[in-house]
Structure 1
């Protein structure tokens, strides 16, 4: 490692350490204040029940620079480091009561945009990064298929090369975040069906291409305001310039991106856990039963203590993954552990919040139970908890 590289690593580690040490870091609190006062100010219950995506709020976030946070300055972004990016996403989750919106923003930053920044051609970046970070376009990331689930490389989608150098894309991609509104998608398909993972390539596909079919928006248990649908490609002809990286490098690109996504997409949920804790404490202090605030009862106080422990645990695992990423040490393990712990603690904390609020926690209009439904998605997206355990077991040599 050169002196310059060593200095950059030391700087990144110091920034992450500062983020861990200061839960009121300005990069977090300023975004939280913006989100609390500017986002999700309408009929949140009605919007959630209708699975209504907050396009105007998305554009407010873009105008604030949130979508550009980690895009390098040479590509029109803010060029922030990982510490600032995670603090930004954490603050968004803390302040924004629309967790579906916060999750979708984190997803686009960590998947579609990250692919373009790290692996895209200059032409691809010039065409799409500006509109994506400016809130004028939406990007999707398409790997999962209806019949393959977590077996990422067993998919049936193909992009076969034609004699003129173009590719013909056919296949069905499922459960796509932002799919219902996306203008462009990173699509993984087999260019050599007989080569296994080495036959997978990545393509940047504009979704106005002839032969593209967008299926209706899917309703979900939680994160209902995150657009979510399937794509079907019927003989979609792509120019050679749609290829991302080299032909056959799709598996490498996917693995690199999904590892970052699984490590850090939970940042908004960590912020949401803090908000749930703050609201549960405020309720327990003001709600009286038997002549005293319910916070005075040991059973309630212990639930609040558990919520605090769960939030701190999730936050520490999030930034532990950031430290591993910055140092280049043990990142796959840290990413899988962070995703697993984040999912489990998120659900446990949300369940405790429901219990502390009692009947109000169960009734939709008070928005407490929504946090629990939203948290359940953490068991599935960016790799199920079972997949994270498989990764951890393999890294332990089991």
Structure 2
């Protein structure tokens, strides 16, 4: 057992951190204020392979397919800005389900398009609906076979890159009476007639990420765009989420770390009653707790990632990491605002943004409560 990163892993983390420091941090506040999609940053990231690093080399990616690599890179990019990082890592939204559920022909055709460094394409995973979040069997979007095509009708909501994605993986009911075993997934190009973007959401945090409804009106796709087996997409989705949850936990660590580092630096410089506020036990103990919980969350995350990379199940461990890290990020960012006091509440300082960004981490890819259900089931 070792807690030491390999030279390659350390270099990977340094690579991602350098990009976050140079290209993300300086523009994070601007994109957050404008609620604008960071296309310029996306293009720079694609040029150096940051948007497609997780795809195998045979499909044009960087070959860094390990979950640990995703965690190391994700922590650094989310340290830079959670909203911009969410946009940059959009490859995985469509790429992961295709990678885990697709045929070799589908992988070669679609993953190679997502990996093009000169023309970065956005992916999206269309699963959530107004009446179906964690309850996948409640989705109402329908896909009906018509000869050699599937016809999709329905509406999705809260979709990252919804309406602007180049490629969607869409989950729809193909057997309405079969519950979880009646859900199928489809690869749908964004230019397909009948597919359109709906309302763009105005969010509390991660404002540089585009979130919107996606509407499907008699959207036709060829039969070969069925992803995986018919009626079996729920199982594929759960396996994909099992391996992606450690990466979300790492994202939470990145956001928390950014807030902690800023608050620590501020506490050492802010003078009150003739001394730095760090010298007050109330402040230094708060920072000590923040540091401890950040490290605890990272270690839970790395354990889950290591299990996944060994090919073992990390369902419980991934949910433990995500649940703990997400709640920790909310606590740490809230404490950072408190340490800065009135300045922390002002938008001229970055800690209020980190607090706003942190909240989504306990909601998307399964709420904290859903994670605890997974953990409890594993008991």
Q: Which shows bigger deviation, 109-118 or 219-228?
A: 109-118
Does 1:120 pair with 2:67?
A: no
Q: Aligned-pair RMSD on alpha carbons?
A: 2.0
Distance 1:366 1:305 in 2: 22
In structure 2, the residue matched to 1:45 is 29
Contact 2:136 2:234 survives alignment (8 Å): no
In structure 2, the residue matched to 1:26 is 11
Contact 1:217 1:227 survives alignment (8 Å): yes
For normalisation by structure 1, the TM-score amounts to: 0.89
Query: Structure 1 169/31 Cα, relative in aligned 2: closer, same or farther at 3 Å?
Result: same
Contact 2:164 2:190 survives alignment (8 Å): no
SS at match of 1:214: strand
Cα drift, residue 364 of structure 1: 0.9
Q: Out of 114, 124, 127, which is 1:140 matched to?
A: 124
Does 1:70 pair with 2:38?
A: no
Q: Out of 202, 216, 228, which is 1:233 matched to?
A: 216
Contact 1:171 1:233 survives alignment (8 Å): yes
Structure 1 ranges of 4+ moved more than 6 A: none
Q: Which shows bigger deviation, 31-40 or 338-347?
A: 31-40
Cα drift, residue 123 of structure 1: 4.2
Q: Out of 188, 191, 195, which is 2:171 matched to?
A: 188
Cα drift, residue 85 of structure 1: 2.8
SS at match of 2:201: coil
Contact 1:90 1:267 survives alignment (8 Å): yes
Distance 1:310 1:110 in 2: 28
The aligned runs of 1:1-398 (5 Å cut-off) are 17-19=3-5, 25-42=10-27, 44-80=28-64, 81-94=66-79, 96=80, 98-106=81-89, 108-133=90-115, 134=117, 136-162=120-146, 164-396=147-379
SS at match of 1:160: strand
Distance 1:109 1:284 in 2: 38
Output one character per residue of 1:243-283: Cα deviation in whole Å (capped at 9) or x when no partner.
Answer: 11121221121111122222222323312222222211111
In structure 2, the residue matched to 1:7 is none
Distance 2:31 2:326 in 1: 25
For normalisation by structure 2, the TM-score amounts to: 0.93
Output one character per residue of 1:22-79: Cα deviation in whole Å (capped at 9) or x when no partner.
Answer: 9x9222123212211122434x434313211111101111112112222111111111
Distance 1:382 1:102 in 2: 15
Cα drift, residue 330 of structure 1: 4.9
Q: Any stretches of 5+ residues in structure 2 without a counterpart?
A: none
Cα drift, residue 373 of structure 1: 0.8
Contact 2:163 2:214 survives alignment (8 Å): no
SS at match of 1:366: coil
SS at match of 1:364: coil
SS at match of 2:131: coil
Contact 1:324 1:331 survives alignment (8 Å): yes
Q: Any stretches of 5+ residues in structure 1 without a counterpart?
A: 1-12
SS at match of 1:187: strand
Distance 1:169 1:343 in 2: 35
Query: Structure 1 265/105 Cα, relative in aligned 2: closer, same or farther at 3 Å?
Result: farther
Distance 2:352 2:52 in 1: 32
Distance 2:358 2:325 in 1: 9
Contact 2:74 2:247 survives alignment (8 Å): no
Distance 2:301 2:70 in 1: 12
SS at match of 1:37: helix
Distance 2:165 2:93 in 1: 13
